[in-house]
Each structure stands twice: as C-alpha cells, then as structure tokens.
A and B are shown apart, each in its own frame.
Chain A
Amino acid sequence: MHTHAETGPAGRRAGEPAGSPPGGPAGDLAAIVGRDHVRTDDGALAAYARDATPLFHARPQAVVLPGSTEEVAAVLRYATERGVPVVPRGAGSNLCAATVPLRGGIVMVLTRLDRILEVSPAELLARVQPGVTTAALADAAAREGLLYAPDPGSRTVSTVGGNVATCAGGLRGLKYGVTRNHVLGLEAVLPTGEVIRTGGRLWKDVAGYDLTRLLTGSEGTLAVITEATVALLPAPEETGTGVAYFDSLADASRAVAAVIADGIVPATLEFLDRKCVSAVEEFAGLGLRRDAGALLLFGDDGSGRTVAGTLARIGEVCEGSGALEVTLAEDVARADALLAARRCSLPALSRLGSLTILEDATVPRHRLAEMVDRIDEVADRHDLRIATFGHAGDGNLHPTCVLDPDDGEGADRAHRAFAEIFAAAIALDGTITGEHGVGAAKLPYLADRIGDDQVALLRRIKKAFDPAGILNPGKLGS
C-alpha cells in the first residue's frame, strides 16, 4: 500500500513507481512545472478525460498544472514547437465538453493559480488569477462592501478563468448582464508563448480591437488566460426574493413577458417546471409546492424601498397573469436558500434517471412561451422526458432530457430532439447556446446559427492567434 514514499500533499504522484525519473515528454514538462505538477498515470488521464458534459470523453497524454504565467508560456512554446494539443481547464464544470481533450495532448489545469491579487474599493475592481473560484471572488468583493455580479449556477466550483473563457451567465443576467459585461482586462498567453495584456483598469479604452471581448467566450481556443481584471459594483443595500406558482411553464413565460413589458427589470427571473421543482425539493426540502405546473422565482436588489416596490409590483403582474399563488421570502436566509436551490436544478434532476442531457437554447424574451411549447411538442414526438428550467428573464432555457438506464437508444433520440430544439430556437431569432458555450457538444450546429461566412472568419481569427493549431483543437474556429 505504501509504495509511494513521497506522499506529501502537493507531492502526490500516484501511479508512478517511486524513484523513476520521468523521461520523454513527461520529463520535458516536469522540467518546466516541476515533477509534482505533471501527471501521466492512466488514472489521472482517465479523470481528466471528461468535464461536466455527459457522453463526451477523451484521454489526454499528460496533465500539467502550471504555477505561474511563465510556466504557462513555457508549456505553450513547447507544445507549439512539437504540435501537441493543449486544452486549458479550470474546474471542469462546463456543460458543452469545452475542456474534453478530443485530440489528446496536454490538459493544462489552472487551479494552482488561485490568488486574489487585488480588490480595490477605490477603483471598483478586482484582479485575480484564473483558478480563483467565482464564489471566492464574490466573497472577497463582499468583504469590501462590493458586488461581483456574474453568478453562474456552478459559482462555488467554477473558476474565474473558466467563466471568462466561456462567458458564463447566471441568475443575475437580466439586470447585470453576463461575464463579458464585467471583464475590464486580461493577461493571456498566446499559443506561441507571448504574454499579452488586454484592456486594464479603465472603463474607457478604445486603443485597438477589443481583444478582451474576443477572448471572453473563446473557450480556450485563442489564448490561455492567466489573470483577469473585473469590474465590481457597490453592494446593493438589500435583496429580496419571491416565488409565484403557475399552471404551466407557458403561463409563467407569459408572466415574464408581462413583467418586462411593465417596465420592470429585476435582478432575477428564473423559472422551473414541475419536474424540476420536485427534484429540487427532494434535495433542498424548502417546502416548495410540487403540485403546480411551474414556479417563477423573482428577485431584485437595491435600496430597501425600491426592492419592496419591485417585488410587490412583480407579484401583482404575476397575479394578473394567472398565478396560482405568490409569496415573498421572509428573510435573507430564505431568499438565499431559494436561489441556492435553483442553482442545483440540473444535478438534482439526475435523481430522476441515469443520464441527464441538458441544453441551453435561448430566444428573445417575448417568444419564450412559444419556445416552451415547441420543447414540449418535440419531447412528446420523440417520447422523451424533458424537464425545463432556466433564466426566464434572459429568454435562456435549459431543457434537460432525463433518460432511464434501460433506454438503450435514448441518447440518440435525445440528440435528434435537441437538433430540432436548436432549429426551433434559431427560427424564433434565438441561439443554440445562451451561456454554456459551443464546445464540442454544439460545434455541429454553430454554422446554423452564425452562417458559413462567420465560421470561415472564426477560422481565420483562430489561425492568426494559433498558427500551429494547438489550442483546444476540435473546438471553435478549428
């Protein structure tokens, strides 16, 4: 059992016989990042063969965990010289197989770069390394009375680097926007090893193409992000949350349209259908009603009076749109519990079956009810159980297909159904993915959304950044 003499916490080298110095590529990489931060054992390669996306997996040949920007640059130069693929990875919580190393090569894990370099109340910004978790950044900001607004569902796990690379969304998108609206500047390493700094501490800066925005959402195909400067806001005085129940998700969708048509832009407008509420309730035990067809979770922040006024008005609009019941969370703890429960919708749904495949179709808000109806119709036609939740205020839906273990060709039916759902979203002026990213999972549908000319342009951009084509090959623009 104790064949591994060097089992210090950071020095774990499972799977490698003690004492044998690694040779070949593993040795070259170890010379850059140190022996303790290269893994080539089969077990580690299996563990890094997948992310949070079902059905996609491919093993790399090595995993490296660099500890500095210089090490990132050295690994990239090494890979470019030899034409070895490199797939940057944060926490591996993405849902589009963006970090699955389809062509093998090196998985570059950035979780060691996890320092919060600066939180500046004077300048309303923070500077962090890419491996900092979203929640850690938000907590650090909160300690200074500030708000980091983007809050993807996976915030306790996901890293800021991963958030930037996928332009993560979240529950506050309606009022605050998504990650791209809060990134001021980046430090990034090009595949050829040059370190660039885009943007910076300025809200106004038009010197050059907006590379900060180009890298945001580039899914690790253009450069490796090694530092991010993000905008913070003064923390709102108060937050409030309420819940409305409806007969159906389509009814809830119409209420959402009515709320926004009423001139209200609350921080949060989330909905869940009955299946999702049931699954979430089973995990969180919040006393949610399981008999209603849909639940709408709404919330706002700001001064105490504004919040109370907004929530009351949303409640009225919901009642006017046929809500079965409207209740307001009595305190912050209850509101936090409701939001936390909403964030775990997807994993909670996996209680219902053995395989959950979720998508991210997004449509203009006023077409939400139409899209919801289309999803139901597609699910029926393919004999699938699809539960839907999402960021209703953003028109962002997460239809989630739950399959039984004995449904042999269920995954095939699910993929046919999702192809139709994407087509329906595009027909409604929507998109194939609102916030999860294209990755490997949705690349086949990318041209349907952006057209061949733009796909060709993406490829030329990709080539300009990455002439050897080593960064995350098989993804965007490859």
Chain B
Amino acid sequence: MTDSAPRPAPGPVPVPAPGQGEGLGVFDRTLLDRCISCGFCLPACPTYALTRQEPSSPRGRITLMRALESGDLTPDDPTLVEESSFCLGCRACEPVCPAGVEYGQLLEQWRDHQWQGRDRPLIARLLMAVVSRSWLLRLQGLVRRHARDRRHARDRRSARDRRPAHGERGQPVSLMLGCVERGLYPSVSRAVRELRPEVAVPAGQGCCGALHAHNGDSAAGAGMARALGERLPGTIVTTSGGCAAHLAHHLGRDRVRELSEYLEHTGHRPRGRVTVGGRPARVALQDSCHLRNGLGVARPPRELIAAVADYVELPGAGGCCGAAGTYAMLRPDDSRAVLDPKLEALRKLDVDYVVAVNPGCLRQLGQGLRRTRSRTKAVHLAELLAMAARSKPETTPVTEPGPGTGTGPAAD
C-alpha cells in the first residue's frame, strides 16, 4: 500500500463468458444466465429473513448453482447440500424478479442433481414411494371417505347430475383429489361437491407428481402429471395451489384451475354467510405460495371469502407459512421458524378463521394454531364456502355428507 503501487490493469478479473466453458450440465444455462445478481429478491426470501446470510438468499443460491455448474464447488460441498434443502421452494423470489429468473425450475434441476438416490432425505423417499402407489392413495381416500361420484349421484337422484360434468366452454370438469388431501382432509373434496355438483370425481386418480418434482425427481414428477392429465378428462379443478402450479406447468395453463379460479371463471355466486355468535365471522387468507407466485392467483380467493364473511387481510399473507410441501417434515425446526411470525400476526389479527387454499398450508396452520392454543381455526376455502352455503338451508337444501354415506365403490 505505497504511493508507488502500480495502477490496476484495466478491465475485470478474467472469468469465462456466459455460455462458454464446459459446465456440468446440471442446469439449463439460459435459465441460469438470466440472473444478474441485482438482489431485488432478497427482501422476498423467507430463509434470507431468518439468517440474513447471502447463501440462504435466492441470489446467493443461484451463485452456488453456478459454482456447482462450473465445478467451482463439488457436488458434495456441504453448503450446496444444505442450501438446496434449506430453500423452501416457495418461489416468492419469482414475481419480484425483473429479470424473470425461473427460480422454481432451477431449484428442481438443482435437487435432481443434489438429491439422487441415497442423498435424498429418507422422509422424502418414503413419501414419494407412498404417493407413487395409487392403490394406497385410493385406499386411504376410501377409508377417509373423500367425495365420490356414485354416492353423489345416488344422493341427489338427479338425472341432470349424471350427465358428464361440464364447465368452461362446455369442457368436462374433473376434480383432482390430491394424494395428501384425500386422506387428511376428505371433507375438502366433499365440500367442493356440495358447492359444485357438476364437477366429476373420476376414480383411480394418482398423485400429480409435485412431490417428486420438488424432491429431486422432476422426470417422475413430469410423468405423473401427464398420467394424471390422461386420467382426468377436460378441465382439472384442484383444491391445492401447489398441485395446480405443477400440473399447469406440465399440462398447460388452460387445462388446470385451482378452485377459487374455477369458481371465478364460472361466475360462481357464493351463498349464505359464515357467522360466529350471531355476527359475521372475521376471516383471513393465507396465500398458497405456488398459486400466488407460480400462477399469479391472489385475488379470487379473497373475493370469495369477502362474499361470505368479513374479510381481513393478514399482514404478510403472501409469505410462505413454512409448510412448503415436504419441508415441514424434513426440516421441522426451520419450518416452525418460518411459521412463528405468521402465528404472531394471526394472534394480533384475532380472526375467527384463517383460510388456506392448499392442504399443506392447512395442516401447517392448523397444527401451529392448536399448539399456541389460538381460538382461530384453519379451514380450507371450500369448507368455508360450504359452511356459508349450509347456513341458509331455506335457500337451497344441501345434503350434508355424514358418516355412513358414500360407502360404495367409486365410479369411473
């Protein structure tokens, strides 16, 4: 550091230009090249909010991906392994990215490489094995009595309802049951059938493959999405934002409608009001990350809630709740750290219900609220709307499915 120090040479430190050099071939280079490291994504990232450290930000992770691709870091580098798993995959970085980086795609490619075989977390492997076996899904759905066509047809005794279901532009409409939801929350699909009897529930549905795609097997994930697309005729309606985004990516955006979107597109007018102790219920929404960030759907669920209750915006509703697919099971501590500020926000808001539009979020919020002994209840949008519709039996009689109904085999 003397006055006679030589002037630095002009120009930058030499590095291979983009597109040059061999590369490992893990990533689609055009996707990777999109990021210019501006950092506009940092404030949107829940894991960066936890650590405030660059490697746990979207920009930092893309730098890590580039280091993996260029061989600068080896695939077994502990930070690579850790960060590919620490990322929630919520894609909150995508809508705020002016450069249009498709981070969700990059993350799938990263995990495809990082989580091969034994490197995939054991819980993820088990879950993937379960959801790959459609007979197992069907069995748990049967035991838990999700919505089915045959029961419905019998209960309603209406010839009109037995015609093939039709929705937008005369297309048939099929309800996707989901792999998790049909076992954990069978009342959600039943609520959809209460609201929209025209929606068919084809039997023999498998999993959409989102679980595979998010856990390092995007090829299987894509295959499962296509297989489900063949099983379900016409427009596919799903009550899961995560499944909607995955299916839309593989089957085309127009083929898939998340429930709130479907209701909006078909001009659904919610009936009734949800009340608590004689007053309108105060209800907030927790967005589904992939629905909001992947498909850009945020307004329809809010409007539907506002039609049947006092809608209250939850501060940070668009931020991840920490469920993030398998994340809550793979990384329970981090998942809880992401959830805690949301529970605090809900405590301050003191609403009667918080609505989820994705089964993972429903489970995460329900567990968190019970753990903190909150009076707020987590419900699915379909359940809230059905609850409202039931509140006015004088308008339209609605059969409430109870135990003992719908025990017959599902119709195709």
- A:27-66 near B, CB below 8 Å: 39, 41-44, 46-52, 54-58, 63, 65
B37 contacts the other chain (Cβ, under 8 Å)?
yes
Knowing A52-B38, A351-B99 are in contact, say whether A65-B53 is a contact too (CB < 8 A): yes
For B394, list chain A residues within 8 Å (CB).
none
Report B84 CB to chain A, min CB distance, Å. Answer: 10
Say yes or no: A419 contacts B97, CB within 8 Å: no
Knowing A52-B38, A344-B40 are in contact, say whether A12-B77 is a contact too (CB < 8 A): no
B174 contacts the other chain (Cβ, under 8 Å)?
no
Residue from A47, A154, A406 whose CB has the most chain B CB atoms within 10 Å: A47
B316 contacts the other chain (Cβ, under 8 Å)?
no
Report A58 CB to chain B, min CB distance, Å. Answer: 6
For B337, list chain A residues within 8 Å (CB).
8-9
Say yes or no: A52 contacts B43, CB within 8 Å: no
**Chain B residue at smallest Cβ distance from A406:** B19
Report B219 CB to chain A, min CB distance, Å. Answer: 21
B3 contacts the other chain (Cβ, under 8 Å)?
yes
- A:364-394 near B, CB below 8 Å: none
A437 contacts the other chain (Cβ, under 8 Å)?
no
Report A293 CB to chain B, min CB distance, Å. Answer: 22
Report B361 CB to chain A, min CB distance, Å. Answer: 20
Overall SS of chain A's interface = loop
Report A4 CB to chain B, min CB distance, Å. Answer: 6
Overall SS of chain B's interface = loop
A71 contacts the other chain (Cβ, under 8 Å)?
no
Report A353 CB to chain B, min CB distance, Å. Answer: 9
Interface string of B1-38 (1 = CB under 8 A from A): 10101011111110101111000000001100111111
Say yes or no: B18 contacts A39, CB within 8 Å: no
Interface string of B83-101 (1 = CB under 8 A from A): 1011000000000011110
Q: How many residues of B contact A (CB 8 A)?
A: 61
For A16, list chain B residues within 8 Å (CB).
78
Say yes or no: B19 contacts A1, CB within 8 Å: no
- B:62-80 near A, CB below 8 Å: 63-64, 67, 72-73, 77-80
- B:38-67 near A, CB below 8 Å: 38-40, 42-43, 50-56, 60, 63-64, 67
Say yes or no: A459 contacts B77, CB within 8 Å: no
A313 contacts the other chain (Cβ, under 8 Å)?
no
Say yes or no: B18 contacts A405, CB within 8 Å: yes
A444 to B5 CA separation, bound complex (whole angstroms): 13
B81 contacts the other chain (Cβ, under 8 Å)?
yes
**Chain A residue at smallest Cβ distance from B52:** A111
Knowing A347-B38, A456-B3 are in contact, say whether A46-B72 is a contact too (CB < 8 A): yes
Give the top 7 A-B pairs by smallest Cβ distance, nearest first: A43-B79, A469-B1, A405-B19, A344-B98, A347-B98, A444-B10, A14-B82
Could you name 21 residue pairs across A and B whose Cβ atoms are closer than 8 Å? A1-B81, A7-B331, A14-B82, A15-B82, A17-B78, A41-B79, A42-B73, A43-B80, A52-B37, A65-B52, A91-B39, A114-B52, A280-B98, A283-B98, A283-B100, A344-B40, A346-B98, A347-B98, A405-B18, A405-B29, A445-B10
Q: List 7 other contacts, CB 8 Å, given A8-B333, A16-B78.
A: A1-B81, A9-B334, A41-B79, A92-B54, A347-B36, A459-B5, A478-B5
